[in-house]
Chains A and B, each alone.
Chain A
Amino acid sequence: MGMLDLVQNETIKILRRRRFLVILLILAILIPIFTYAQYRSVLTAQEQMGTSDWRALLQQKIVDTQNRLASSRLPEEWREFLKITVQQQQYYLDHDINPMAPGAPTFARGFMDQAISLFLPMIIVVLAVDLVSAEFSEGTIKLLLTRPVRRWKVLTSKYVTLLLFTSLTVLMTLILAALISGVVFGYAGWDMPVLTGFEIAGGELETAGVFALPQWKYLLMQYGLGWFVSVVVGTITFMVSVLVRSAAAGMGIMMAALISGAILTQMASSWESAKYLFVVNLQLTDYLAGTLPPIKGMSLPFSLTVLTVWGAASLVVAYAVFIKRDVTS
């Protein structure tokens, strides 16, 4: 009757439903594809420049960007973003650090940068979307709730199990990204210094607080932020799973939210209150890398707060509804 027994039950059900297996398969199929794409782009860049020297490549990139900046038709926000990118690249060049040094850890870092706002949340949605609703749609809720266990305990056991598998998913993403890409790029580069601590003040990149971190530490911070995003998205999906009985509908709701978030971050810079939506706050790793946030006034503490509030509110709604609701078929 203890919580451990209940969590064991939920774990068995997730495994028997093969949800986690599906996620591992998605990762195992997509990571090699991304690895190959990365490999091609490195090759193409070297061919175009006729050199494999990263300094020359980075210098060329800076020149390219400055040329684009010279064009007068560029929108103002975009111009600021490019300026900051140039400043950052210049900093790497001045300090003799190759930001793109190929290797398993660099790939894993790039992968999380790309995955944190859409790919990883979607995987978590697959995991969480029918955690509660399947019990209703399959009718097993009637057996689950007629046991000597209070409803809040039943829901807690499901949530704890979700946290468990969310953590496992983020961990497996890191392990698989490093393992698979290492086959192509090699496994070196864990100690390579990565710059962080950038601050954006009034559209200028503030490099005063910048410091170099060994890549493995940077990765831990990055995947920690990825974990936090996953937990929040998982919690919101969990609420949807309590509210919506059909897994397809729940999936639709979450997909629509995540994708519109991805679109909004591209174009919402002039709509300032959009920054309170959870979906535009998912790109947490950008704060580490020193990229300009999509909307003015956003910072790492701000995004963390917004996400925490959304997660907490979702939990409250999920518990209130699950405990109160009459089970009808």
Chain B
Amino acid sequence: MTETVLSIKGLRKQMGGKPIIKDISFDVYAGEVFGFLGPNGAGKTTTIRMLVGLASADAGEIHIGGISLHKHFPQAIAQVGCIVENPELYKFMTGRENLEHFARMSGGISRERIEEIVRFVDLQRAIDDKVKTYSLGMRQRLGIAQALLHNPKLLILDEPTNGLDPAGIRELRQFIRRLAEEEGLAVFISSHLLSEIEMMCDRVAIIGKGKVISVGLVKDLMEQFGDQVEWSVSPETTEAASRILRALPFVEEAVASKEGRIMCKMDTERIAEANRTLVLQGIAVLGIAAKTVTLEDLFLALTTEEGGAEHGHAGPGAK
């Protein structure tokens, strides 16, 4: 039985008379990395601000480790470590002074624990330098150190890879997996970058326009869509080829996208079988490409259905 670390029910919020968050509910369990996906403007940051008590909710309940955030704020928030947007620490103090500052606010954190966390994020050499001399990557690590200092059950990261280089992103990814798998933390990550969520997360919630569109295992969500195969044939046989493919029992769908191209929804393991059928019927197959559906495709499809043209904003960053 996995423990529910974060439970959100019926969260709503209005800002300036407009409903920003309409109805958000989901649970996050211990030991999993949970992705919170949505285009910019979907309400991700507002939701996170409510999760950590920076903003108040109009309706709905947030429980952390079974404790109501609204009713028992100190006890509930004591189990949370977070970085909302950029890790903004006191630049005029050293890394160590920053950690000591937050340690005093949490209470009961020993000097050894600070040493331990500094080693954990590998900042031993720079910890006594002023934060303004730190690189972005170092600030990010100090941000993680302050978030983990008090041994939280839930780690909340808002767009954690913003501004990191590819090596930094890879490092962060491994780090987060390790926290969830070895330390049993629940990690909640928001992002509009799908590729990274896909690699990091066990489950995702996809939101658009202030509502949850879909929650589930990354694997399950992707299976719903199945694999796609793109066939290239000589242009004059496009029609015939798609007719043959459609007739096969294991092909769900075959659409001639343009001259000589056919998109098929089918099991990739049966490509050879389909190919043989086509060749035997005199179709010249020029190329076969198996395409695995990415979370990105899924995301686009889901948010287009529900959210109109909004997905367009996610485009440029979603590499």
List the A side residues contacting B73 at CB < 8 Å: 148, 150
List the B side residues contacting A148 at CB < 8 Å: 73-75, 77-78, 105-107
User: Across the interface, do A13 and B90 meet the contact criterion of CB distance under 8 Å?
Assistant: yes
| Identity of the chain A residue whose Cβ is nearest the Cβ of B92 in the assembled complex | A16
Asked if A44 lies at the interface with its beta carbon under 8 angstroms from chain B, I say no
In the bound complex, CA of A75 to CA of B84 (Å):
63
Asked if B21 lies at the interface with its beta carbon under 8 angstroms from chain A, I say no
Q: Which residues between 197 and 251 of chain A lie within 8 Å of chain B, taking CB atoms? A: none
In the bound complex, CA of A328 to CA of B84 (Å):
11
Q: Looking at the complex, which of A138-146, A164-172, A267-275 is the stretch in contact with chain B?
A: A138-146
Could you give, for residues 98-121 of chain B, a 1 whenever the CB lies within 8 Å of some chain A CB and a 0 otherwise?
000110111110000000000000
Given A16-B90, A142-B85: A6 and B104 interface contact (C-beta under 8 Å): yes
User: Across the interface, do B90 and A326 meet the contact criterion of CB distance under 8 Å?
Assistant: no
Asked if A71 lies at the interface with its beta carbon under 8 angstroms from chain B, I say no
User: Across the interface, do A1 and B92 meet the contact criterion of CB distance under 8 Å?
Assistant: no
List the A side residues contacting B102 at CB < 8 Å: 143, 147
Q: How many A-B residue pairs lie within 8 Å, measured between CB atoms?
A: 80
Asked if A73 lies at the interface with its beta carbon under 8 angstroms from chain B, I say no
In the bound complex, CA of A145 to CA of B54 (Å):
7
Q: Which residues between 46 and 89 of chain B lie within 8 Å of chain A, taking CB atoms? A: 49, 52-56, 73-75, 77-78, 80, 82, 84-86, 88-89
List the B side residues contacting A5 at CB < 8 Å: 104-105, 107
A250 shortest CB reach to chain B, Å: 19
User: Across the interface, do A8 and B82 meet the contact criterion of CB distance under 8 Å?
Assistant: no
List the B side residues contacting A72 at CB < 8 Å: none
User: Across the interface, do A149 and B105 meet the contact criterion of CB distance under 8 Å?
Assistant: yes
User: Across the interface, do A146 and B77 meet the contact criterion of CB distance under 8 Å?
Assistant: yes
| Identity of the chain A residue whose Cβ is nearest the Cβ of B101 in the assembled complex | A9
In the bound complex, CA of A139 to CA of B77 (Å):
19
Our pick among B54, B80, B92, B106 for the contact of A142 (Cβ within 8 Å) is B54
Given A6-B104, A140-B88: A16 and B93 interface contact (C-beta under 8 Å): yes
List the B side residues contacting A17 at CB < 8 Å: 92
In the bound complex, CA of A1 to CA of B107 (Å):
5
In the bound complex, CA of A329 to CA of B97 (Å):
25
User: Across the interface, do B55 and A328 meet the contact criterion of CB distance under 8 Å?
Assistant: yes
B144 shortest CB reach to chain A, Å: 12
List the A side residues contacting B55 at CB < 8 Å: 326-328
Asked if A22 lies at the interface with its beta carbon under 8 angstroms from chain B, I say no
| Identity of the chain B residue whose Cβ is nearest the Cβ of A146 in the assembled complex | B52
Asked if B161 lies at the interface with its beta carbon under 8 angstroms from chain A, I say no
Our pick among B53, B75, B85, B92 for the contact of A139 (Cβ within 8 Å) is B85
List the B side residues contacting A147 at CB < 8 Å: 77, 102, 105-106
Q: Which residues between 1 and 29 of chain A lie within 8 Å of chain B, taking CB atoms? A: 1-2, 5-6, 8-9, 12-13, 16-17
Could you give, for residues 238-281 of chain B, a 1 whenever the CB lies within 8 Å of some chain A CB and a 0 otherwise?
00000000000000000000000000000000000000000000
Our pick among B49, B93, B97, B108 for the contact of A328 (Cβ within 8 Å) is B49
In the bound complex, CA of A6 to CA of B104 (Å):
7
Q: Which residues between 118 and 150 of chain A lie within 8 Å of chain B, taking CB atoms? A: 138-140, 142-150
Among B77, B88, B90, chain A packs the most CB atoms within 10 A around the CB of: B90
In the bound complex, CA of A16 to CA of B92 (Å):
7
User: Across the interface, do A326 and B54 meet the contact criterion of CB distance under 8 Å?
Assistant: yes
User: Across the interface, do A140 and B90 meet the contact criterion of CB distance under 8 Å?
Assistant: yes
Asked if B146 lies at the interface with its beta carbon under 8 angstroms from chain A, I say yes
In the bound complex, CA of A64 to CA of B74 (Å):
70
User: Across the interface, do A142 and B88 meet the contact criterion of CB distance under 8 Å?
Assistant: yes
In the bound complex, CA of A329 to CA of B49 (Å):
10
In the bound complex, CA of A72 to CA of B129 (Å):
71
Given A146-B53, A148-B74: A6 and B88 interface contact (C-beta under 8 Å): no
List the A side residues contacting B74 at CB < 8 Å: 148-150
In the bound complex, CA of A48 to CA of B78 (Å):
74
| Identity of the chain A residue whose Cβ is nearest the Cβ of B86 in the assembled complex | A139
List the B side residues contacting A12 at CB < 8 Å: 93, 97, 101
User: Across the interface, do B97 and A1 meet the contact criterion of CB distance under 8 Å?
Assistant: no
| Identity of the chain B residue whose Cβ is nearest the Cβ of A154 in the assembled complex | B105
In the bound complex, CA of A139 to CA of B139 (Å):
14
Q: Which residues between 291 and 327 of chain A lie within 8 Å of chain B, taking CB atoms? A: 324, 326-327
List the A side residues contacting B90 at CB < 8 Å: 13, 16, 138, 140
Asked if B9 lies at the interface with its beta carbon under 8 angstroms from chain A, I say no
Asked if B91 lies at the interface with its beta carbon under 8 angstroms from chain A, I say yes
List the A side residues contacting B80 at CB < 8 Å: 146
User: Across the interface, do A140 and B97 meet the contact criterion of CB distance under 8 Å?
Assistant: no
In the bound complex, CA of A142 to CA of B143 (Å):
12
List the B side residues contacting A145 at CB < 8 Å: 53-54
List the B side residues contacting A9 at CB < 8 Å: 101, 104-105
In the bound complex, CA of A147 to CA of B78 (Å):
6
Given A17-B92, A138-B91, A329-B85: A8 and B104 interface contact (C-beta under 8 Å): yes
In the bound complex, CA of A149 to CA of B75 (Å):
9
| Identity of the chain B residue whose Cβ is nearest the Cβ of A141 in the assembled complex | B54
Q: Which residues between 148 and 191 of chain A lie within 8 Å of chain B, taking CB atoms? A: 148-150
| Identity of the chain B residue whose Cβ is nearest the Cβ of A144 in the assembled complex | B105
B60 shortest CB reach to chain A, Å: 15
Please name 6 pairs of A and B residues whose Cβ atoms are closer than 8 Å in the assembled complex, sorted by A.
A12-B93, A16-B92, A142-B52, A146-B80, A327-B49, A327-B54
Binding site for B on A (CB under 8 A): 1-2, 5-6, 8-9, 12-13, 16-17, 138-140, 142-150, 324, 326-329
Give 8 new A-B contacts, CB below 8 A, not counting A144-B105, A148-B77.
Answer: A13-B101, A16-B90, A16-B92, A145-B54, A147-B77, A147-B102, A148-B73, A327-B55
Identify the 7 closest CB pairs spanning chains A and B, nearest first: A139-B88, A1-B107, A148-B74, A326-B55, A148-B78, A147-B105, A327-B54
